[in-house]
Amino acid sequence: MEEKSEVPVKEYHVQKDCWMFKKQSKKKKLLRDVFYLLAASVIYSISFHYFVSPSKFAPGGIGGVVAMVKHLIGVNSSTAGIDYSPLLIVLCNIPLLIPARKILSHEFAYKTFITTLLMTLILFIFDNFIDPSYKFSIMQVPVITEAEGGVGTRLISAIIGGALCGVTLAFSLKVNASTGGADIVGAILQKKNPHKSIAVMIFAVNSVILLISIFVYREQLLPVLLSIIYIYTSTKICDAILQGGKSGLKFEVITEHAQEISDEIIEKLGHGVTVCPAEGMFEHKNRSLLICIIKPRQIAKFQNIISKYPDTFAYVGQVNEIYGKFNKDTK
C-alpha cells in the first residue's frame, strides 16, 4: 500500500484570541449601568448650564425646548425666583417614553427615564442653587444680544458644549439608553421605517427645533448656526467614543503569493488572514483574495509587506465595529 504523505502544517506563534465577549455578573452590570447613567447626567447638566444657556441657542431636541423657554421667560426670572424650566426635560420626555416602551424596549425606556430624571434634578440644582448667576460660565453672564455675547465666545461654547453632549450620548448608548428627546423620536421613526437611517430621523427632528429657534431668538441665523455646530460636534464625538476602541482597517488583497503574504501578516502583525479563491477577468488567471483586519497603527507595516510583491493589488476600507475574535498585536 502506498503511504500517504502528510502535508506540513506551519505553526504560528501569535497571542491567543483575546477580543472575546466576557460575561458580566449582574452586580457588575448594574454598577456599570449606574456609573454611565450618572456620568451622562452630570456631564449633560454641566454642558447645558455653562455652555448652552448663557450662549442663547437651542441645541436641538428637548434641550432646545428648555433653552428657548429659558430665553422667553428670562434666565433668572420665574415664579418665586425659582427657575422651573429644567422640569421640561422630564415632562416632555414622558409622553415620548410611553410609546418607546412598546415600540422599542422596556429596558431602553426605563433607563432613558432615569437619565432624564437625573438630568432634570442636577440641572435644577445648578440653575437655582449651585451657580444661578453663571459665575463660572465661559460667558460669565447670559447674553441678551449678539453684540453683548461676542460671536467668537459663543462659537467656542457651541463646540465645547457639543463635545460634552457627545460624551453624554455615547455613555447613554453604551448601556442601551439615551438622553431623550430627538433620540427617542428618531429611534421610533427608524423602527417604523427600517430602510432609513436613524441619524437622518434624528436630524429631521432637530431641524424642526432649529427652525422654531429662528423665531424665538430673532437674531438672524446665528443661533441656528450655533445649533448646527453643536449637533455636528456632538455626533462626531459620540461616534469617536463608540467606535474608537473597536475600529480597524480592512484590507483585501488580490495576489498570486497568498501563502507568503499570509505568513508575514500572521508573524509580523499578529492577525489572521482569510483566503478565498479569485479570478482576474482580464487575463482569467487564478489568484487568491486575502481578507485581513488590522489596527490603524499597523498600516505602515502592512504596506511594507505588500510592497514586496509588485504584481499584487490591494485596497483598504474603514471598519467601525469589530466583534468576536480579534488578536491584539504585540509586535
The string of DSSP letters for 204-218 reads HHHHHHHHHHHHHH-
pLDDT at residue 37, as a whole number = 95
pLDDT at residue 88, as a whole number = 87
Q: How large is the average pLDDT for residues 226-237?
A: 88
How many angstroms from the chain centroid is the CA of residue 314? 30
Residue 168 has pLDDT above 60, yes or no: yes
pLDDT at residue 207, as a whole number = 78
Residues in contact with 191: Cβ distance below 8 Å, sequence separation at least 6, in sequence order: 103, 104
| Topology (CATH level 3) of domain 248-319 | Alpha-Beta Plaits (3.30.70)
pLDDT at residue 205, as a whole number = 81
Q: Which residue has the higher pLDDT, 263 or 203?
A: 263
Residues in contact with 266: Cβ distance below 8 Å, sequence separation at least 6, in sequence order: 12, 14, 272, 273
Cell of residue 259, nine digits: 501563502
Highest-pLDDT range among 111-115, 216-220, 313-317: 111-115
pLDDT at residue 20, as a whole number = 46
Separation CA 76–CA 66 (nearest Å): 14
Q: pLDDT tens for residues 17-68?
A: 444 445 668 888 899 999 999 999 999 999 999 998 888 788 888 888 888 8
pLDDT band at 147 (very low <50, low <70, confident <90, very high): low
pLDDT band at 272 (very low <50, low <70, confident <90, very high): confident
pLDDT at residue 11, as a whole number = 56
Report helix, strand or coil for 153: helix
**How many residues in total does the chain contain?**
331
Contact 172/179 with Cβ under 8 angstroms?
yes
Report helix, strand or coil for 41: helix
Residue 105 has pLDDT above 80, yes or no: yes
pLDDT band at 285 (very low <50, low <70, confident <90, very high): confident
Poorest-pLDDT segment among 157-161, 245-249, 296-300: 245-249
Residue 196 has pLDDT above 80, yes or no: no
Q: How large is the average pLDDT for residues 111-115?
A: 94
Residue 7 has pLDDT above 50, yes or no: no
The rounded mean pLDDT for the chain is 81
pLDDT at residue 40, as a whole number = 95
Separation CA 274–CA 270 (nearest Å): 14
Highest-pLDDT range among 157-161, 199-203, 235-239: 157-161
pTM to 2 decimal places: 0.73
pLDDT at residue 141, as a whole number = 62
Place of cell 467656542: 156
Contact 100/180 with Cβ under 8 angstroms?
no
The residue extents of the domains of the chain are: 26-244, 248-319
Residue 213 has pLDDT above 60, yes or no: yes
Contact 54/309 with Cβ under 8 angstroms?
no
pLDDT at residue 278, as a whole number = 92
Instruction: List the one residue out of 41, 178, 162, 49 whose CA is nearest residue 107.
Output: 178
Strand order in the sheet with 285-294: 274-280, 285-294, 248-255, 313-319
Torsion angle of alpha carbons 134, 136, 138, 140, nearest 10°?
50
Residue 16 has pLDDT above 50, yes or no: no
